[in-house]
Amino acid sequence: MSSKENKDSLSKKRLLVVARSGLAKKNDVFFANPNEGAFLDELASFFQEIVLCVNIYKGHDLENYPQNFEAKTYQLDTNNITIVELKTSSYINFLGKIIQYYKRYVAVKNASKNVDYFFFFSTGYLGILSSIIASISKIPSVVYVGGDWSDLILFRSSKANVAKRSILKIYSKFIRTIQDYSRNSANIRLIRGDELFTRYNRKNSYKLPPMTNIKRENIRKYEQIPTKKEEKIRVLFVGRMEIENGIHDFINACKIIKDNEAKQIEINIVGQGPIFEEAKELSTEYGIQANFLGYIENGQELLNVYRKNSILVIPVLRAGLPRVLIEGMSQGLSIVASETGGIPHLISHGENGFLFQTGNHKEMAESIQFLIDDKDLREKFARAGIETALSQITDQTAAEFTAEKICLNLNNL
């Protein structure tokens, strides 16, 4: 079916969406992360109404922790999106969290009345509660599978002491069981990346196009990459400043390179988040002259940053398929990435990038150093990466794809 036919089919339908990340509210206007905001706006164009259950951050949160919300730059068009606020607080005890999730359950259950379809992101307790509500209410449901919560818990257990490690391993198995149940209970699974698709591939499972604002027309042609000798080799990190994105490991790898490197290199770090200042302090402590560029919105400005660099390092510690991997490849950067989640399904070591053992900053540094010293290899990876990006980025957006699969599978339920 065409996009117009899908809109005609869904124009009288109401979709409940339980979001994975919150909105910032400023002067009665709601702001989202650019990729998710664009996805929601476009998805809303197919439906009579979207009922959006979401955490809302305002007032005290925005004023006291601005570094956590710099990515909320996309003004959401709420003409046919009804916002249902889910109360949230990070500063409550265990009993308070139970009460908070009960209130969220009630809010989502009430919001589910008189909707035709249910869309939820599976990671976290909110995703699990959503799957329960959809099953009890017998509402046809779509689940977005973009990462693995249990693997992240398991990774954190490796950094804990012996007693806590055992508890976290048991907890990880428990989360894997209920997470898999919630994902398998949905009528449709939209899955990001080959690794997760292999795990959850059954009837009505689909690989979702990348939820990125980069389109095929934005993919760089190899011939456009300058061939002249670089005065500096520019190494780039792009990601939210969180422990699981591996920023500490990246800075440790940069220290090794700085101590051993005779050539001129430039380190550029894009991103904002809760450990932004901590990362800057660690860089200063190690004597690394890194450019902390802060948050840069996905679009032409970020494309320009990619194109000014030669090597993109993705040191993530969690499963899933990082959006920046495909974006970096699409702009002709050589990739150095951890061998976790869906990354090894796109990166063949030595063919279109380098893989290193997750959390091993020494191995990461060796791979970066190898590329710094070998211009021919950087060119080989750039060309191969662009070809890989062309195989992943389609003309169909994630919202169009989602609407198509709902029309194909759910209209007859």
Mean pLDDT of 79-86: 94
Q: Which of 86-90, 118-122, 168-172, 368-372 has the lowest mean pLDDT?
A: 86-90
What is the model's pLDDT at position 2? 67
From residue 99, how far is each of 78, 127, 133, 164, 303 by CA, in Å? 29, 17, 17, 25, 44
Query: What contacts 60, CB < 8 A, 6 or more positions away?
Result: none
CB atoms within 10 A of CB 385: 28
Q: Is 158 helix (H, G, I), strand (E, B) or coil?
A: helix
pTM above 0.95, yes or no: no
**Are the beta carbons of 310 and 186 closer than 8 angstroms?**
no
**Dist. CA 392–CA 346, nearest whole Å:** 9
Q: Which of 121, 16, 39, 64 is nearest to 397 (CA)?
A: 39
Query: How would you class 231 by CB atoms within 10 Å of its CB: exposed for 0-12, middle for 13-18, buried for 19 or more?
Result: exposed
Is the pLDDT confidence value at 125 over 70? yes
Higher pLDDT, 260 or 255: 255
Region 5-19 average pLDDT: 89
Q: How many CA atoms within 13 Å lie on the side-chain side of 193? A: 23
Residue 123 has pLDDT above 80, yes or no: no
Closest Cα partner for 119 from 412, 405, 413?
Answer: 405
Q: What is the β-pairing status of strands 81-86 and 205-207?
A: unpaired
Residue whose tokens read 């956590």 = 68
Neighbours of 158 (CB within 10 A): 12
β strands within 58-175, DSSP E: 74-75, 81-86, 117-121, 141-145
Q: Which tokens in the block code for residue 136?
A: 């009890």
- Residue 413, Cα to own-chain centre: how many angstroms? 31
Neighbouring residues of 83: CB distance < 8 A, sequence distance ≥ 6: 23, 30, 52, 54, 56
Strands 233-238 and 265-270: parallel
DSSP 229: P
139-198 per-position pLDDT tens digit? 999 999 988 777 777 777 777 777 788 888 888 888 888 888 889 999 999 998 888 888
Write the pLDDT tens digit of every residue in 302-357.
999 999 999 999 999 876 788 899 999 999 999 999 998 889 999 999 999 999 99
pLDDT digits (tens, 9 = 90+) for 212-228: 778 888 999 988 888 77
Query: What tokens were used for 153?
Result: 């818990």
- The dihedral built from the CA positions of residue 214, 215, 221 and 224, taken in this order, carries a sign that is negative
If DSSP codes are grouped into helix, strand and coil, which group holds residue 141?
Answer: strand
